[in-house]
């Protein structure tokens, strides 16, 4: 009930509790006052009943006294013995006492006072008659007294007294009855009122109890929630602390420094690691953009400024490498990157990023560069020095055949021819090997490449060289890719010339070129032929350098072409593979993932 009211009025629990208790306390106060009043009334009523009883008792005594006086008087009159006068005298004293007492008791009751005023003289008269009779007995003897008694006046007076007192007693008894009835009514009324208020208070208290109970229950639930939340929070904080520790350890072991630049106020904040990267102490750092610039190698300052500027303008992300000059003049290579936080309008506010030392990496790069240079010069001398003697072998053998042709018989000429062919073949091997190693070092330069144009041109050139052969060439649409033009040209030349070469012994060569797209591998191109094919069991050897699956006598070749194609395709992050069956032909596939 209270809860509903509370919800209806939207009052707070505390307010409802206060109101509830105020109402209860008020009811209790009123009830207490009422109980007090009632008790007072009951007390009063009891006192009045006692008073009435006292009045009744006093009238009884008065009457008793009068009877006792009569009895004493009668005894004396009959015996003349003054012994009977003692109770008579006592009674006379007592009558006065009790009459006065009665007068006092009924002082608040005018009716009874009126009765007493009537009764007073009658009692006096009766007592005078008694005294007179007693004097007659004492002075004139029994007979005179007997006569005076016979006047009946005393008897009449006595009746009158009894009448008045009876009336008084009746009035008083009636009053008593009335009072008792009033008291009983009061008690009933009080009981009803008392029980009613107690019930109301009880209901109020029950209501309050439930209100408090519900509230406590809710609080308990909230408290449990809160405890759980606190526990979760605590665990999260611990987790966070752990992660933070790990990050710190990782940053430290990885040598990663973290920086934050307040662009608006030009305040640059570095973490501990940053100072180590720049070889300076915290005191010598100015804490602004310019302070960072001061640490840079003079040749890198302008480029870095441009890169930062472009990052701020949103042209590109800041991801740079630069040199840092330590106070001891040593040069350290740093890789730095950062992201920018902007306001709603896109104005840069903060830039946060990392720095780490890549000096070792750079040294390795230089090493690799040097090694590459060494390799290059090695290749240079190979191409120059190995080819020169071959040329001589070839040239002098040719000269021998020309100048001394008449001195050699058929077998002699065949032997000389073999020497020339072997020398040529070795020259081809050296050329292919150089080409292969050069391709590995050459950087990719991707351009948008129209494969249709490229393949058609290559195919028509290659087919033109094959005089007198029956060739069916089918080229499906190949579309465009982003790739290195000269490298891709090499791949197509190798694959197409292979297809032509290995199908040369068929009556009619059927070569198909096409493209299909694959979800995982991107764009897949293929070249298929109906030529000699190969045993798939040796398929894994296909793309190795100098690996051949056919004899030179059957098909010419150095075994470098497919290895070179694989190298090129792998450089483009693609794959190359083949499917074949002996004497049924082969299909070569290569994939070029989208860039």
Least Cβ distance, residue 488 to another protein (angstroms):
19
Beta-bridge partners for 446:
484
The reply to whether 161 sits near another protein by the rule CB under 8 A is no
Residue 498, classified by CB atoms within 10 Å of its CB into exposed (0-12), middle (13-18) or buried (19+), is: buried
Residue 534, classified by CB atoms within 10 Å of its CB into exposed (0-12), middle (13-18) or buried (19+), is: buried
What are the distances in angstroms from CA 398 to CA 416, 423, 430, 431?
8, 11, 21, 21
Please give, one letter per residue, the 3-state secondary structure of 556-572.
CCCCCHHHHHHHHHHHC
- Which among 111-119, 156-164, 373-381, 512-520 is the span making contact with another protein, rule CB under 8 A? 373-381
The DSSP line for 420-450 is HHHHHHHHHHHHHHHHHHHHHHSPP-EEEEE
Nearer to another protein, 369 or 535 (CB): 369
Nearer to another protein, 19 or 420 (CB): 420
- The C-alpha atoms of residue 59 and residue 165 are separated, in whole angstroms, by 7
Least Cβ distance, residue 247 to another protein (angstroms):
48
How do beta strands 471-475 and 576-581 pair?
unpaired
- Which among 60-68, 138-146, 319-327, 372-380 is the span making contact with another protein, rule CB under 8 A? 372-380
- The C-alpha atoms of residue 578 and residue 581 are separated, in whole angstroms, by 10
Nearer to another protein, 169 or 428 (CB): 428
Least Cβ distance, residue 328 to another protein (angstroms):
38
The reply to whether 68 sits near another protein by the rule CB under 8 A is no
The DSSP line for 51-65 is HHHHHHHHHHHHHHH
Least Cβ distance, residue 371 to another protein (angstroms):
17
Least Cβ distance, residue 546 to another protein (angstroms):
18
In contact, 99 and 113? CB cutoff 8 Å: no
Residue owning tokens 């009636």: 174
The site map against another protein for 395-414 (x = CB under 8 A) is xx-xx---------------
- Which among 16-24, 347-355, 421-429, 517-525 is the span making contact with another protein, rule CB under 8 A? 421-429
Residue owning tokens 């701020």: 312
Least Cβ distance, residue 489 to another protein (angstroms):
16
Count of beta carbons in the 10 Å neighbourhood of residue 254: 12
The site map against another protein for 424-453 (x = CB under 8 A) is x-xxx-xx--x-------------------
Least Cβ distance, residue 491 to another protein (angstroms):
20
The reply to whether 422 sits near another protein by the rule CB under 8 A is no
Residue 229, classified by CB atoms within 10 Å of its CB into exposed (0-12), middle (13-18) or buried (19+), is: exposed
Nearer to another protein, 200 or 382 (CB): 382
Binding-residue total with another protein (CB under 8 A): 26
Count of beta carbons in the 10 Å neighbourhood of residue 267: 13
The reply to whether 388 sits near another protein by the rule CB under 8 A is yes
Least Cβ distance, residue 392 to another protein (angstroms):
4
Candidates 108, 283, 343, 385; binder of another protein (CB under 8 A) is: 385
Candidates 106, 273, 394, 528; binder of another protein (CB under 8 A) is: 394
Candidates 26, 229, 392, 418; binder of another protein (CB under 8 A) is: 392
Of 382, 414, 416, 381, which is closest to residue 396 (Cα–Cα)? Answer: 416
Least Cβ distance, residue 365 to another protein (angstroms):
21
Nearer to another protein, 152 or 388 (CB): 388
Residue owning tokens 């608040």: 108
> Could you say which DSSP state residue 384 is in?
I
The reply to whether 390 sits near another protein by the rule CB under 8 A is yes
- Which among 89-97, 140-148, 308-316, 385-393 is the span making contact with another protein, rule CB under 8 A? 385-393
How do beta strands 576-581 and 509-518 pair?
unpaired
Count of beta carbons in the 10 Å neighbourhood of residue 494: 20
Of 504, 428, 425, 495, which is closest to residue 466 (Cα–Cα)? Answer: 504
Nearer to another protein, 389 or 440 (CB): 389
> 417 is written with which tokens?
């021819």
The reply to whether 384 sits near another protein by the rule CB under 8 A is yes
- Which among 108-116, 195-203, 420-428, 470-478 is the span making contact with another protein, rule CB under 8 A? 420-428
The reply to whether 254 sits near another protein by the rule CB under 8 A is no
Nearer to another protein, 122 or 401 (CB): 401
- Which among 38-46, 358-366, 416-424, 537-545 is the span making contact with another protein, rule CB under 8 A? 416-424
- The C-alpha atoms of residue 453 and residue 479 are separated, in whole angstroms, by 9
Least Cβ distance, residue 389 to another protein (angstroms):
8
The DSSP line for 241-298 is HHHHHHHHHHHHHHTEEEEEEETTTTEEEE-HHHHHHTT--GGG---SHHHHHHHB-H
- Which among 153-161, 255-263, 422-430, 490-498 is the span making contact with another protein, rule CB under 8 A? 422-430
The site map against another protein for 96-115 (x = CB under 8 A) is --------------------
Nearer to another protein, 82 or 421 (CB): 421
- The C-alpha atoms of residue 588 and residue 326 are separated, in whole angstroms, by 56
What are the distances in angstroms from CA 477 to CA 474, 500, 526?
10, 20, 12
- What interhelical angle do 153-254 and 110-140 show, nearest 10? 140
Nearer to another protein, 81 or 385 (CB): 385
- What interhelical angle do 485-502 and 561-571 show, nearest 10? 150
> Which residues contact another protein (rule: CB under 8 A)?
376, 379-380, 383-385, 387-392, 394-396, 398-399, 420, 423-424, 426-428, 430-431, 434
């Amino acid at each position: 009930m209270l809860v509903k009211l509370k919800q209806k009025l939207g009052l707070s629990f505390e307010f409802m509790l206060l109101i509830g208790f105020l109402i209860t306390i008020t009811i209790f106060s009123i009830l207490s006052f009422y109980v007090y009043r009632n008790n007072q009334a009951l007390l009063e009523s009891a006192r009045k009943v006692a008073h009435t009883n006292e009045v009744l008792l006093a009238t009884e005594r008065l009457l008793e006294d009068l009877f006792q006086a009569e009895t004493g008087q009668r005894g004396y009159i009959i015996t003349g013995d003054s012994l009977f006068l003692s109770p008579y005298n006592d009674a006379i004293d007592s009558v006065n006492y009790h009459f006065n007492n009665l007068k006092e008791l009924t002082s608040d009751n005018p009716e009874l006072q009126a009765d007493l005023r009537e009764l007073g003289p009658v009692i006096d008269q009766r007592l005078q008659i008694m005294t007179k009779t007693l004097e007659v007995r004492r002075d004139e003897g029994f007979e005179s007294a007997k006569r005076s008694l016979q006047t009946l006046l005393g008897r009449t007076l006595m009746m009158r007294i009894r009448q008045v007192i009876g009336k008084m007693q009746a009035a008083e008894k009636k009053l008593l009855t009335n009072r008792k009835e009033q008291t009983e009514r009061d008690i009933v009324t009080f009981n009803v009122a008392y029980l009613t208020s107690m019930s109301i208070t009880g209901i109020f208290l029950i209501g309050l109890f439930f209100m408090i109970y519900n509230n406590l229950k809710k609080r308990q639930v909230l408290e449990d929630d809160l405890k759980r939340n606190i526990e979760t929070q605590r665990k999260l904080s611990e987790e966070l602390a752990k992660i933070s520790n790990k990050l710190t350890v990782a940053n430290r072991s990885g040598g990663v420094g973290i920086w934050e630049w307040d662009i608006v106020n030009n305040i640059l904040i570095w973490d501990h690691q940053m100072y180590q990267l720049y070889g300076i102490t915290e005191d010598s750092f100015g804490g602004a953009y310019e302070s960072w610039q001061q640490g840079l190698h003079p040749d890198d300052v302008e480029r870095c400024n441009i890169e930062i500027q472009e990052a701020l303008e949103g042209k590109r992300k800041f991801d740079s490498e630069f040199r840092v000059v330590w106070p001891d003049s040593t040069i350290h290579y740093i890789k730095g990157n950062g992201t920018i936080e902007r306001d709603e309008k896109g104005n840069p506010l903060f830039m946060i990023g990392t720095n780490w030392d890549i000096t070792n990496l750079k040294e390795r790069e230089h090493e690799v560069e040097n090694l590459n240079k060494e390799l290059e010069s090695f290749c240079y001398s190979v191409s120059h020095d190995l080819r020169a003697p071959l040329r001589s072998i070839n040239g002098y053998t040719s000269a021998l055949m020309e100048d001394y042709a008449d001195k050699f018989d058929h077998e002699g000429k065949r032997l000389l021819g073999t020497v020339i062919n072997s020398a040529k073949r070795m020259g081809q091997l050296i050329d292919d090997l150089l080409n292969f190693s050069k391709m590995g070092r050459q950087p990719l330069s991707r351009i948008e490449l129209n494969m249709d144009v490229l393949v058609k041109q290559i195919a028509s050139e290659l087919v033109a060289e094959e005089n007198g052969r029956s060739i069916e060439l089918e080229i499906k649409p190949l579309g465009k890719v982003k790739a290195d033009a000269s490298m891709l040209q090499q791949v197509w030349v190798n694959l197409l010339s292979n297809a032509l070469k290995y199908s040369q012994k068929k009556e009619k060569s059927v070569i198909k070129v096409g493209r299909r797209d694959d979800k995982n591998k991107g764009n897949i191109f293929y070249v298929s032929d109906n030529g000699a094919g190969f045993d798939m069991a040796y398929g894994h050897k296909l793309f190795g350098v100098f690996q051949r699956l056919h004899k030179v006598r059957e098909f010419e070749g150095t075994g470098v072409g497919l290895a070179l194609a694989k190298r090129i395709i792998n450089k483009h992050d693609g794959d190359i593979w083949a499917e074949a069956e002996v004497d049924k032909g082969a299909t070569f596939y290569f994939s070029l993932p989208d860039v």
